Structure formats: structure tokens, C-alpha cells
Amino acid sequence: MAGYLLARAAVPVIVLEKHADFFRDFRGDTIHPSTLELMYELGLLDEFLKQPHQELRELRAVVNGQTVPIADFTKLPTHCKFIAFMPQWDFLNFLSTNAKGFPNFQLLMQHEVVDLTFDQQRVTGVRAKTPRGELEIRADLVIGADGRHSVIQERAGLERQEFGVAIDVLWMRISKKETDPQQTLGFFQQGKLLVLLDRGDYWQCGFVIPKGGFDAIKARGLQQLHKDIVSFAGFLRDRVAQLDDWSEIKLLTVQINRLRDWCRDGLLCIGDSAHAMSPAGGVGINLAIQDAVATANLLAGKLRTGPVSVDDLRKVQARREWPTRLIQAMQVFVHRHVVTGQTSRRKDSLPFVVRLLKWFPILRQIPARFIGIGPRPEHICSRGR
């Protein structure tokens, strides 16, 4: 997204992606109303909505067997009053295909950044591993958008604060049938959670487990895991045995962390590279996009003519840090009080917040706004060609 916006604003950009394609399974699928609004502002919305996707207007969860509404997106002041579900690889292919229309945009696949280059304290570029050997690329600005295992952040020596997370996620696929219930998303039960993402002909399942608990689950055996899944979503009973080998079940470690400084001379980190997000609320993709928009808004004008100062880079952090802090605080709260909290462990009980949402429909607009738009939404201010 940062590459798209900077190239659109006539800044020469090279995007390096270490894989040969964008086909990663592990990144979630939610495109929120805030991101859809950006697509509208860029004139891409009609084309975007032609891509295969599902639309979720109301977020519901099954908590200890009771279906409860959590968020109502239909009253949001945005063009799209829904979350679009689109696998992230389709979204990235869509963005990069459109970016390739800009003469200043270059996407180099299978180019893995392995190090930074420096001139004294200033970052001057990157070294990348490619199928044709190692390559050095010099740049006025290196943007670290390489996710939560960021090499760029690590090589830049930026200090990271970790916020303890008590959960990990098991990630697996189970086929879908037409008779299955509509997308509900979350099944909470006595301090456990199963998330189902509708990916057309299969359910992408995320089963939340206590951190470090995978070995114990393996020791109990696959059949016990099948039983656990069915206890959340009974309609999967006739298919859960499709998970017949542990290799089909991936362990995703969940982290929440944030850099103290998102930049240094010649380098800026954004997205998960600056602040790794948990899946709670499904907001990480959209927050990363907000960072990209702020980056282009604040820096494109200056980058057109050359390097930017550290003070310029700090403005991006200053703009995006408090929305990030707020959302990460919400994620920590959800982990403690909804997913693993005491209240959710009691049979048949509903956490107090969830009860309020059930009793007072108007309150559902609050989570809708927080999840769907988020604090301090960005708008496209960087100039087009």
C-alpha cells in the first residue's frame, strides 16, 4: 500500500518481496470499512468489489452456546457498511496489479532483504538475496514493512517493547458445505475460542490455545482435538476427520509488541514491523494500511525531491502511535477478559460487556466504529500523478 501510494505520488519506489507469490495462509482476510473507504478515495472501489469476497454487515459471536451480536456496521459513515472478507493474497495481487500501472513502481519478487547498508549512522539501502545472487539497492528511504519477524527492524537495532500474550493459534482448513450456518466468526466457550473464516469452499479455522500448549494438545491426540472443535461448531462433525495429520495443523505464535522509535536516519518501520498485532478484532491489516497512508501523506512531497529528515519520519510515528497504543490495549483486554478471562470460563455465562451489547442494540455501533474505522482514520492526501 505504501508502495502504491508513493508511486502514485510520483516517487520512484521498489518493493521487495521475499516470496515468489503472495500466497501466505497465515494473515487473516478482513478488509475493514476504513480500508474500503481508502479504495473509494483512490477510485479503486468498484474494481475491488468485483474481486471474489464476502460481506459481513453484523459481527456475531457464539459465547458459551448463545449467539450474540457484537458489532453493527450498517450505520457507519462510510461508503461500505461491511467488512469485506478477501484472502490477503487476492488483496495484495489486486493492489500490486494496480500499482504496476504507475511508471515509478517496481515490484521485485523473490528478493529477500538480509541486511541494511549504512553510511556512518544513516541507512542508505538494503542488501537482498535473489535467485541470481545478492544485490544491493540504495534508497533515500528504506521502509520496513516486513511484518512481525522484521529483519529490517532487527538490523536497524530499534528497541522493541513486548506485551505478554497468553495465547497462540492453531490454523487449519476444514471444507465447507452450503448447509453450513452463515459466517459467525467467533465461538467462545469457557475461556476457549474457535474462529471460522469463510474462504469460499473451505473454513479457515483458528483455534485459540494457551501459549505453549501445543505439545500438550498433541499428546492428547488428534481425536481429542476433533472433539474439541466439534464442541464449538457441531456442524463440522462430519468433516473434522479431514484433519488426519498434525502437518495440516499449523501453530501460529501470537505476539503484541511495539517499537520505542519507529525510525532512524534513512529508515522507517510501519505495520507489524513497527507494532506486531494479535488477531483480536482482526484489525492488524487495516492498521498497517493506515500507517502506509500516513507515510505517503506526510512524506511523498519531500521524497519526490530527495531524502527526508529524521524529524519528518518522527511525524509518522507521532501520528500513528496513539491509535496503535489504543488498539493494542484493546487486544490485551480482549485476551485477558474475553478469550482467557474468568467470566468466560463459567458455563452458560455471558461477559457483562457482551450482555450489554445484547440488551442495547445501539451500543453495537461502538465496537463497529472501533473495529470498522478505528481511532484517527487516515484519508488520502498525497497527490496523484
Ligand X SMILES: Cc1cc2nc3c(=O)[nH]c(=O)nc-3n(C[C@H](O)[C@H](O)[C@H](O)COP(=O)(O)OP(=O)(O)OC[C@H]3O[C@@H](n4cnc5c(N)ncnc54)[C@H](O)[C@@H]3O)c2cc1C
Closest CA to 165 of 63, 253, 250, 252: 253
The residue from 8, 13, 30, 323 that contacts ligand X (CB under 6 A) is 30
The count of chain residues that interact with ligand X, using the rule CB under 6 A, is 30
- Give the C-alpha separation, 285 to 89, whole Å: 12
Question: Residue 150 is placed in which grid cell?
Answer: 522484521
CA-CA-CA-CA torsion sign (302, 304, 310, 315): positive
Least distance from ligand X to the Cβ atom of residue 112, Å: 4
Kindly state whether residue 41 participates in binding ligand X, applying the rule CB under 6 A. no
Least distance from ligand X to the Cβ atom of residue 302, Å: 23
Question: Residue 328 is placed in which grid cell?
Answer: 493494542
Using the minimum distance from each CB to ligand X, give the nearer residue, 198 or 350: 198
Cβ-contact 285, 88 below 8 angstroms? yes
The residue from 125, 282, 351, 372 that contacts ligand X (CB under 6 A) is 282
- Give the C-alpha separation, 139 to 128, whole Å: 13
Using the minimum distance from each CB to ligand X, give the nearer residue, 42 or 128: 128
Kindly state whether residue 372 participates in binding ligand X, applying the rule CB under 6 A. no
User: According to CB under 6 A, which residues from 162 to 221 bind ligand X?
Assistant: 169, 206
The residue from 87, 144, 279, 374 that contacts ligand X (CB under 6 A) is 279
Helices marked H in 251-351 — which ranges? 284-303, 310-333, 342-345
Using the minimum distance from each CB to ligand X, give the nearer residue, 208 or 350: 208
Residue given cell 450505520 in the structure block? 75
Question: Residue 35 is placed in which grid cell?
Answer: 480500508
Least distance from ligand X to the Cβ atom of residue 185, Å: 9
Angle at 200 between CA 18 and CA 244, to 5 degrees: 80
Tell me if residue 327 falls in helix, strand or coil. helix
The residue from 285, 293, 294, 371 that contacts ligand X (CB under 6 A) is 285
> Mask 235-274, x = binds ligand X (CB under 6 A)?
-----------------x-x----------------xxx-
First to last CA, the chain: 16
Site stretch for ligand X (CB under 6 A), options 76-84, 237-245, 283-291, 372-380: 283-291
The residue from 18, 60, 199, 337 that contacts ligand X (CB under 6 A) is 18
List the beta bridge partners of residue 192.
Answer: 189
Question: Residue 360 is placed in which grid cell?
Answer: 442495547
Least distance from ligand X to the Cβ atom of residue 89, Å: 9
| Residue ranges that bind ligand X, judged by CB under 6 A | 16-19, 26-30, 112-113, 145-147, 151, 169, 206, 252, 254, 271-273, 277, 279, 282-286, 288
